[in-house]
């Protein structure tokens, strides 16, 4: 008889293979419908999805560090963004985000680009709500992960090259990162 392992002790990667895309689509569709029934405008719906994403992001990063005890905490901004682009994205969506770019005109702004976000794949948007981008849910997750790892920021989702997540960090995060590079 095999001893049962605690669900919190299993790695995230093993748990990911147990969930099908159709279940994720169904659950996310229900989240959108639930949220839509409690708001009146598209911006309110996007804000609500962002807030729900923040709740998920907080739990995801806690769960990651509980399960992966051997991983180190990133202290440099670029390394943390690469962690989100690769590790967090793989654990959530089964693949890495396509690109990570730094804005040319603002040192506080970075872009994570995903051509076809999973959360937009299974949602049919009515014509009267054509500006709705359900990737605001993912933006909330990213914002919570970065903020709870010591990199406070605001993350928004935009239609550009697929979906682009604009990550705008607080001024002190950039100043702290520059100080660390000098040492």
> 102 lies in a domain?
yes
Global pTM reads: 0.85
Q: What is the pLDDT of residues 8-40, one digit of tens each?
A: 666 655 444 456 778 888 888 899 999 989 999
Question: Which region holds residue 170: left if phi is over 0, alpha if psi is between -120 and 50, else beta?
Answer: beta
Name 68's Cβ contacts closer than 8 Å, sequence gap at least 6: 11, 12
Q: What is the pLDDT of residues 133-166, one digit of tens each?
A: 899 999 999 999 999 999 999 999 998 878 999 9
> 146 lies in a domain?
yes
> 123 lies in a domain?
yes
> 54 lies in a domain?
yes
Give how many domains the chain has, as a whole number: 1
Classified as helix, coil or strand, 153 is: strand
The boundaries of the domain holding residue 121 are 21-182
Does pLDDT of 97 surpass 60?
yes
């Amino acid at each position: 008889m095999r001893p049962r392992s605690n669900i919190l002790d299993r790695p995230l990667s093993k748990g990911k293979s147990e969930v099908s895309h159709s279940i994720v689509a169904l659950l996310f569709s229900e989240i959108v419908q639930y949220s839509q029934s409690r708001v009146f405008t598209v911006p309110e719906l996007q804000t609500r999805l962002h807030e729900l994403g923040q709740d998920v992001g907080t739990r995801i990063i806690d769960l990651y560090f509980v399960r992966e005890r051997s991983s180190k905490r990133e202290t440099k901004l670029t390394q943390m963004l690469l962690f989100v682009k690769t590790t967090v994205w793989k654990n959530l969506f089964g693949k890495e985000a396509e690109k990570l770019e730094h804005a040319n005109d603002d040192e506080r702004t970075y872009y994570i680009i995903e051509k076809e976000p999973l959360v937009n794949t299974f949602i049919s948007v009515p014509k009267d709500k054509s500006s709705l981008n359900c990737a605001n849910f993912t933006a909330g997750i990213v914002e919570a992960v970065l903020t709870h790892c010591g990199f406070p920021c605001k993350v928004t989702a935009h239609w550009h090259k697929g979906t682009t997540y604009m990550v705008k960090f607080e001024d002190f995060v950039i100043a702290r990162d520059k100080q660390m590079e000098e040492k």
